[in-house]
């Protein structure tokens, strides 16, 4: 699937009231997998800080449009672009569309990800390959495309997982491996991009209350009782706040790092 046409109009943008401390004002951001959950929270937070935002989605254009409109209501440009992260041509095209529509790219958030959980005897090579295509290859492809347009001060933020550090139950080996790969990728790319004034980091969430992993499930109750140091799930807005920090000027000396926000999951 190649990057599709943006569904949300961008030429009419409501005017933001004059506010102070818009730390990302006039910045241009792309958030992959930004239509719902953590991705949507990141889109809203970056828009709240003044950034113009593009987001990608695979399906459910209505949901993607709703997220983009929520960002537009904060007085910024926002576009929704259909692009399956399993298709490298589609995500590279999404970068080019972002640059064309927003006038450049300063912030890249690699949020799109999938999880395939099954014991070693049951997980298929097809599931293995798709997990790595979305969770690792797409991150590399989008980053490679984005840095061609980034100037000094650019920010790249990957949404990894605390499972890169700890996998406390069976069936998660492939997912954990894909997220651990981002740790090495970030360390290596920090060396490539540092001389250009571009930072790259991972955010590693623990259990977060989303549609895909609700906090009111039996599984969540098990984690709260047996695994977590803080007996609650995190919120998407808490993850978005850490992303906003890494995207902003206060994080200019942070690169090559994997920052864990997991309620003590890995403690």
| Residues noted as catalytic | 175
d(CA 16, CA 75): 4
Give the residue among 236, 211, 224, 215 at the shortest CA–CA distance from 265.
224
DSSP code of residue 36: S
CA atoms of 10 and 131, how far apart (whole Å): 33
Residue 234 DSSP code: B
CA angle, 57 then 142 then 240, to 5°: 60
DSSP assignment, residue 121?
T
Per-residue burial over 172-193, b if 16 or more Cβ lie within 10 Å, else e, is bbbbbbbbbbbbebbeebbeeb
Radius of gyration of the chain (CA): 18
Alpha helices in the chain (DSSP H): 37-48, 61-72, 88-102, 125-132, 138-147, 173-193, 218-226, 236-247
Residue 68: alpha-carbon gap to chain centroid: 15
Q: Which two tokens stand for residue 175?
A: 């997912």
């Amino acid at each position: 699937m190649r990057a599709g046409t943006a569904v949300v109009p961008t030429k009419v943008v409501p005017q933001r009231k004059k506010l102070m401390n818009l730390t990302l004002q006039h910045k241009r951001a792309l958030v992959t997998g930004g239509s719902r959950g953590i991705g949507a929270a990141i889109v809203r937070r970056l828009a709240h800080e003044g950034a113009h935002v593009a987001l990608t989605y695979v399906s459910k254009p209505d949901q993607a449009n709703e997220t983009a409109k929520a960002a537009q209501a904060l007085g910024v440009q926002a576009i929704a672009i259909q692009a399956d992260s399993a298709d490298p041509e589609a995500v590279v095209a999404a970068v080019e569309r972002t640059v064309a529509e927003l006038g450049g790219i300063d912030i890249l958030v690699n949020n799109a990800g999938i999880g395939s959980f099954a014991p070693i005897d049951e997980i298929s090579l097809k599931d293995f390959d798709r997990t790595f295509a979305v969770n690792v290859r797409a991150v590399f492809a989008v980053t490679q495309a984005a840095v061609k347009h980034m100037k000094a001060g650019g920010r790249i933020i990957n949404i990894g997982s605390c499972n890169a550090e700890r996998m406390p139950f069976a069936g998660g080996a492939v997912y954990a491996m894909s997220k651990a790969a981002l740790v090495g990728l970030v360390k290596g790319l920090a060396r490539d991009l540092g001389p250009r004034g571009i930072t790259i980091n991972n955010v590693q969430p623990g259990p977060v209350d989303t549609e895909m992993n609700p906090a009111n499930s039996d599984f969540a109750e098990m984690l709260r009782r047996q695994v977590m140091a803080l007996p609650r799930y995190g919120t998407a807005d808490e993850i978005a706040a850490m992303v906003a920090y890494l995207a902003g000027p206060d994080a200019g000396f942070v690169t090559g790092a994997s920052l864990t926000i997991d309620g003590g999951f890995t403690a």
